[in-house]
Structure 1
Amino acid sequence: MALETDQQDPARGTKRVVGILQRHDSLYGDAEKVSSAQHHGSQDNWIRTLRLAFQCIGVIYGDIGTSPLYVYASTFSSGISNIDDLYGVLSLILYSIILLTMIKYVFVVLYANDKGDGGTFALYSLISRYAKVSLIPNQQAEDAMVSSYGLDIVSAPMRRAQWMKKNLESSKVAKVAIFLLTILGTSMVISDGALTPAISVLSAVSGLQQKAPQLKQGQIVLISVVILVVLFSVQRFGTDKVGYSFAPIILLWFLCIGGIGFYNLIKYDVGVLRAFYPKYIVDYFKRNGKDAWISLGGILLCFTGTEAMFADLGHFNVRAVQISFSFALFPAVSLAYIGQAAFLRKHPEHVLDTFYRSIPGPLFWPTFVIAVAAAIIASQAMISGSFSIIQQSQTLGCFPRVKVLHTSKLYEGQVYIPEVNFALGLLCVIITLAFRTTTDIGHAYGICVTTVMIITTILLVIVMLLIWRVSIWLIIPFCLVYGFVEFVYLSAVMYKFTEGGYLPIVIATLLVVMMAVWHYVHVKKYWYELEHIVTNEAMRQLIQKHDVKRISGVGFLYTELVQGISPIFPHLIEKIPFVHSVLMFVSIKHLPIPHVEASERFLFRNVESKTSRMFRCVARYGYNDKLEDTKEFAASLIEGLQSYIEEGHLITDIQVQETETQTTSIADSNTRPHKAGSSTVYIEEALTANETTGLTQPRISSYSAHSSGRISEEQSRKIAEEKQFIQRELQKGVVYILGETEIKAGPNSSFVKKVVVNYMYSFLRKNFRQGEKAFAIPRQQILKVGMVYEI
């Protein structure tokens, strides 16, 4: 932060501004290093956009693109009672895709991205930047200085947005509600990661029965299970190497289903095009009543994968998705549904295997192979999406630590989590063996899709009010139309709760409870440390009381607290009154943005005094950033520390020069003039101290623009010595100090709190990865400090 400096005018006894002095003895110095990198999609030209439009076909449309395999079978699970019902169902399918997928998501929701990233978590992060809805009080003013943190300034209506912000920040209920909605949405998407492979692969493989009718359903299920086991087994290799083959395969799939659909339309019944007249929807409900409402549970499968399309936005841009959807997916999928309806007008008895029955004979085997490949690609996208969501949830502090492996050097978003992969694979196999048909799996699938859609609508309305500041007269019809349609679909699929619909509810409930428990204790632990923070004065007294000695090497003490020194440190000193020659209190902090530039990663500040060689460092990451390995992290941190020392010595040397060259005093008792060559330096000795954070920094009144040669030489010498000292200590060894905190509910806590903290959280903590495994710290370099927190 730049400070205006003043110069005393002896004649008038007043001060006048003479220049700007950069303040380095704070976290602000590093915070101002703003890179010139622009956010996602800022320099896209049309050639790059068209290339991205082609590539995203293979990544984000696998799920929604394979839905023609099973929609009619799930909708007419008991057969077609009236041939005219095909008009109503086809009309519902077409207008559901147009209204929910195209208009809502492709042309509205995609613009609610977080610097190019999409999904429920991105919406939550976007809201968190504009309003302090996070339950963890670790916001810092310096965070807003990060280049990619930038907040859009929209002119009107400002008053309503301020009202919205004030109410969100002041209401604990609102904060908890938004958080619960977010983790419920992420839990449903994770459930989707187990259901998509099951329904996609099973529906694709079932086509074998057309050419091999002797195959029983049990055999089809076993073949599907083998494919699923192979699919989950190869996840550890990542999708980067085969990613470019996805787009041609899915594009070929679109050409197949679109071409076959057009062929069936011409051959069987061109009259099905009248389904574009929405009156047939009304006739369908009049004719079938409750049965029509129940059938919505099958119809909604036509837009499964819509939320995944938004969640996988990260490596593309909005324009690329809009182009590929409008000119590739929508025509192909629409023709597929239209062609199948035309086929069923002549062959209604084949409704349970419509897709493969409607394929012309010579095209069967090529289409079957492509269908299986497309189903695998659709499954791959949802599995990878589940990994990314869990990684993001972990950065929020609402998921236990798991091992996150980055499988691509090109795309940071491609990750692999062994524990989650095993759990999803096992669950997917169990679902396939237990349900055996796509109809029952479809009931479970539909609940995931509609629940996430409703949550997205709620969060999007908050974005409209708080960030976009859209007119209320546009928001009201948006809420009424989409709220009504999505709740009707949800009610229809909930009717089949006992026939498979319970599955995602059970999975999501377990995930929500686990995430809520973990985050609850995480927040309580943070507040405990914040309330027992160690100030600078307490640090001095602690060091003097225990006569702390310095030993060789560099020590990194990890803490989640960003406002000061954790109570772990005095506990360590009481047991072992030795600290390393260079001690660094390191806080890993995740900002509510996708990425933080490397040049803006670290914030430094001295602890206790400038000569103590103890520092605080906040290492900031976006929720999609990769955490470096220990060697790379330590090297980057030391490099940043040396830069900080080089910049931060300016004020220190001025203060030393002030002491050495003190000659006289003037009327202002707080200010002394000092000769430095032909220049005069004025230093105000008053220090500002923040007892909450324990941070102290000098307040500069004035500083001459010209420094003497002796100061520069002294400054350069001290900087060089300090950097050499740190480098020598680094070569002597690095020790990572981790707090092994045991969290217990206080003796006066309620029964529920004791169960949550002492049993549920303790179980999760013992059965997931510990800190050293999550940070990949070598065991021989770890020093653990045990401590009990009563919350």
Structure 2
Amino acid sequence: MDSDIELSLIMPPNWSTNSFLFYSSDVPVPFACAILVGLFTLQHYGTHKIGFLFAPIIVIWLFFISGVGLYNIIYSDHQIIYAVSPVYMYRFMRNFDHQGWRSLGSILLSVAGSEAMFADLGHFSKKSLKITFVCLIYPALILCYAGQAAFISKNWRVFEDVTYLSESVPGAFLRHIVVLLSLLASAVGSQATITASFSVINQCLALGCFPRVKVIHTSDTINGRVYIPDVNWLLMILSLGIVIAFQDIAQIGNATGLAIISGMLVTTCLMSLVITLYWEKSLFVSACFLLSFGLVEIMYLSACMSNFHKGAWYLVVLFVFSMTIMISWHYGTMKKYEFDLQNKVSMEWITEMSPGLGVSRVPGIGFIYTDIVTGIPAFFSHFITNLPAYHQVLIFVSFKSLPVPCVPQKQRYLIGRLGTKDYKVYRCIVRYGYCDNIRDTDDFEDQIIHCIGEFIALEENDLESLTSPEGRMIVVGNPMLDGNALVPIPEMNSNLASPRLSNNGTQRTLSSDSIESASAPVTRRKVRFMLPPESPKMQVSVRAELQELVDARESGTAYFLGQSHLKVRDGSSFLKRFLIMTYVFLDKNCREPPVALNIPHAALVEVGMVYTI
């Protein structure tokens, strides 16, 4: 095999970027847009249903291209199979010149799609990916590319100016079949990229690096199978914009190549950190890994950057836009959380300030939702300072997600007490998995009150309580059945009084008259509680505290949410101002509220507070 043929295995000199693609770019733009719209419309059905629809397509496609490749190997040049040897790669690198360097960006497209497959580890098990890749995908791709190279080596002079390798398919009928299958296979490959995008966005949400969006888990057993409607429609708009704006598969291929090698280079850098920090290997091993793969990837990256003006610029613009959003959101979230930690107050502060402020306790229960799990949030202390009154019973509620599908009911709630029993202030940490819809249930308030009653009954004799800076925490969460604490009584058609706090729209009027006045009735409470029959095992003090909890529930319930208003400190840099302004814009336009509870407006109290960052 001469040197010309060796070079043709890598990239023929006058072929465009999409030479190794197996389909024609003569597909009309409206038809391509219709395929994209249909693909994104199917996403809400879930990966497992779409996979059931697309799996036969990709299997037929793999067998088809491997069969065509095997045919070309046999009838064109059976010696082409020796090109699998790394000797030819060595010869190519030995004669490396400017032409070979520019061809690297196109060679990279031969692995397009494989990175999306490995990004879908959350959708499939690692074992299934390894078996499928080694036993089916890799051999099929080897036969496919080897067959195409064999066809080129035999028909080099005849097909020197041919751009699309559908000519390697024997027979006109099979050529029409391959065009149809290539379109369907491209849709499947796009599906892998879309689902991988959902998984990456979901991970960014868990790390606090992406604005709040609604995540729908389409599987009860696999964590990675998620669907994000907002991201789905945004990707559809961007995809349609690329197709309509470029209308050239070569430019899209340049952007794809840059995306692939950038992802590989980032993965290599992060993997070197894993080797050192997580696997606890020596720096020498990590450096060898980084140099071995990093130098090769940097060479490919430089070749892709040579096509920056031919479509790759779009990827850079999209990268800058997305990173600005993620960095701004993460920066604003961390600064807001640090402000909450630094300005939180203890229960002793409230008890010491109460006499001086003339704080009064009004009947009812107040639920205060906060991100911090210790101390009292700054917005509630701000509320008390301006309006010295709060409810007879206070419950500070925090949500904490765990990386498991479901948290058992008996381990879901962690209950503790703030201050002494006389203050009737409790803390509840709700732990939930990614398949638990704990925030969307209508009986969430009933479950919290039932758990508080269980905590009161178990507090004296519990031997498995957890310790915290504020005292003991008890894991509770038994089903709402007749027990030794509170007995639930369902009321399906109850129309009970609303909270003691009145409401003007969404924001409450902070006045003492509004605290003591009742507003219009609401139909939220479906369960009433009563104490169990008197038992000599229950202490008198425990029964009295349970009765106070029941009476407070009958008086009404209010929900307190903090409404933050971030303000940049005077003299701050332009970068800090820009990040905070971007965060504020994203926070105001988030599609998902910070607390996804079915809270009636008549029971909601939003406390605004300025955060000086």
Q: Where on the TM-score scale, by shorter chain, does this alignment land: which range?
A: 0.7 to 0.9
Name the CA shift for 1:600/1:510 in 2 (closer, same or farther; >3 Å).
Answer: farther
Q: 1:473 to 1:585 in 2, by over 3 A?
A: same
Distance 2:425 2:82 in 1: 76
Distance in 2 of aligned mates of 1:763 and 1:504: 24
> What is the Cα deviation at residue 725 of structure 1?
5.8
**Does structure 2 conserve the Cα–Cα contact (< 8 Å) formed by 1:413 and 1:624?**
no
Distance 1:353 1:722 in 2: 80
Q: State how 1:181-580 maps to structure 2 within 5 Å.
A: 206-207=23-24, 217=26, 220-287=28-95, 289-348=97-156, 349=159, 351-355=162-166, 357-358=168-169, 360-409=171-220, 411-470=222-281, 474-580=285-391
Code of the residue aligned with 2:86 in structure 1: it is P
What is the distance in 2 between the residues matched to 1:455 and 1:338? 30
Q: Is the 8 A contact 1:340 1:358 kept in 2?
A: no
The residue identity in structure 1 corresponding to 2:73 is: L
Q: Per-residue displacement from partner, 1:239-288 (whole Å, max 9, x unpaired)?
A: 34333233333222221122221112112111211212323223334556
Name which of 575, 582, 596 aligns with 1:752.
575
SS state at 2:163 partner: helix
Aligned to 1:768: 590
* Residue identity matched to 1:510: F
Residue 418 of structure 2 corresponds to: 607
**How far is the alpha carbon of 1:82 from its aligned partner?**
3.8
Give the Cα–Cα distance (whole angstroms) in 1 for the partners of residues 593 and 314 of structure 2: 33
The SS at the match of 1:747 is: coil
- What is the CA–CA distance in structure 2 between the aligned matches of 1:510 and 1:525, rounded to whole Å? 23
Q: Deviations over 1:380-406 (max 9, x none)?
A: 222222223223212322212223334
Distance, in Å, in 1 between the alignment partners of 2:462 and 2:356 is: 30
- How far residue 506 of structure 1 moved from its aligned partner, in angstroms, is 1.0
Matches within 5 A, 1:102-117: none
Residue 236 of structure 1, CA deviation: 3.1
C-alpha displacement of 1:624: 8.3
Cα distance, 1:283–1:425 mapped onto 2, change above 3 Å = same
Once the two structures are TM-superposed, the CA of residue 642 in structure 1 deviates from its matched residue by 4.3
Partner of 2:559: 736
Q: How far off its partner does 1:740 sit?
A: 0.8
Secondary structure in structure 1 of the residue aligned to 2:419 = coil
In structure 1, how many angstroms separate the alpha carbons of the residues matched to 2:67 and 2:34?
Answer: 31
Q: Distance in 1 between matches of 2:574 and 2:380?
A: 32
Instruction: Give the aligned partner of residue 85 of structure 1.
Output: 7
Unaligned runs of 5+ in 2: 13-17, 474-534
712-721 or 301-310, larger mean C-alpha shift: 712-721
1:283-306 superposed Cα distances (whole Å, 9 cap, x missing partner): 334556111111111111222333
Distance 1:543 1:447, change over 3 A: farther
Asked whether the 8 Å contact 2:371–2:398 carries over to 1, the reply is yes
Deviation at 1:410, TM superposition (A): 5.5
Identify which of structures 1 and 2 has the higher relative contact order when contacts are C-alpha pairs closer than 8 Å and 6+ apart. Answer: 1
Contact 1:87/1:280, CA 8 A, preserved across alignment: no
Q: Which residue of 2 aligns with 1:192?
A: none
Q: CA deviation at 1:84?
A: 3.3
1:330, 1:742 → 2: CA distance?
A: 54
Cα distance per residue 1:138-181 (max 9 Å; x no partner): xxxxxxxxxxxxxxxxxxxxxxxxxxxxxxxxxxxxxxxxxxxx
TM-score by length of 1: 0.62
Q: Distance in 1 between matches of 2:546 and 2:181?
A: 61
CA displacement, residues 500-528 of structure 1 (integer Å, 9 cap, x when unaligned): 11111111111111111121121111111
Higher helix share: 1
Residues 89 and 281 of structure 1 are in contact (CA less than 8 Å); yes or no, is this contact kept in structure 2? no
Question: Any residues of structure 2 matched to 1:574-723 within 5 Å, and which?
Answer: 574-590=385-401, 593=403, 597-598=407-408, 599-620=410-431, 628-631=439-442, 633-634=444-445, 636-650=447-461, 695-696=470-471, 713-715=536-538
Match for residue 610 of structure 2? 788
The count of aligned residue pairs is 539
Query: 1:10-36 CA distances to partner (integer Å, 9 max, x unpaired)?
Result: xxxxxxxxxxxxxxxxxxxxxxxxxxx
Q: 1:412 Cα deviation (Å)?
A: 4.8
- Matched residues in 2 for 1:244 and 1:576: separation? 59
Report Cα offsets for 1:411-458 as digits up to 9, x if no partner.
Answer: 553333333222211110111112222221111112222222222222
Cα gap change, 1:282/1:241 in structure 2, threshold over 3 Å: closer, same or farther? closer
* CA deviation string 1:92-115 (max 9, x = no partner): xxxxxxxxxxxxxxxxxxxxxxxx
Q: How far apart are residue 768 of structure 1 and its match?
A: 2.4
* Structure 2 residue identity aligned to 1:606: R
RMSD over aligned CA atoms reads 3.4
Amino acid of the structure 2 residue aligned with 1:263: Y
Distance 1:772 1:256, change over 3 A: same
User: Partner letter of residue 375 of structure 1?
Assistant: S
Can you give the 5+ residue segments of structure 1 that lack an aligned partner in the other structure?
1-80, 91-198, 210-216, 653-688, 699-711
Per the alignment, residue 708 of structure 1 pairs with none
SS in 2 for 1:352: coil
Contact 2:439–2:595 (Cα < 8 Å) also in 1: no
> 1:635 deviation in Å?
5.1
What amino acid is aligned across from residue 557 of structure 1 in structure 2? I
Q: Contact 2:415 / 2:455 at 8 angstroms: preserved in 1? A: yes
Distance 2:430 2:28 in 1: 52
Shift in alpha-carbon separation, 1:548–1:497, aligned structure 2, 3 A: same
Pair 727,433 (structure 1): closer, same or farther in 2 beyond 3 Å: farther
Q: Deviations over 1:20-76 (max 9, x none)?
A: xxxxxxxxxxxxxxxxxxxxxxxxxxxxxxxxxxxxxxxxxxxxxxxxxxxxxxxxx
Matched position secondary structure for 2:122 = helix
CA contact (8 A) 2:405 2:434 kept: yes
Q: Distance in 1 between matches of 2:557 and 2:175?
A: 64
Change (3 A) 1:251 1:575: same
Verify the 8 A CA contact 2:415 2:427 in the aligned structure 1. Answer: yes
SS in 1 for 2:572: coil
Is the Cα contact below 8 Å between 1:404 and 1:415 reproduced in 2?
yes
- In the alignment, residue 292 of structure 1 is paired with which amino acid? G
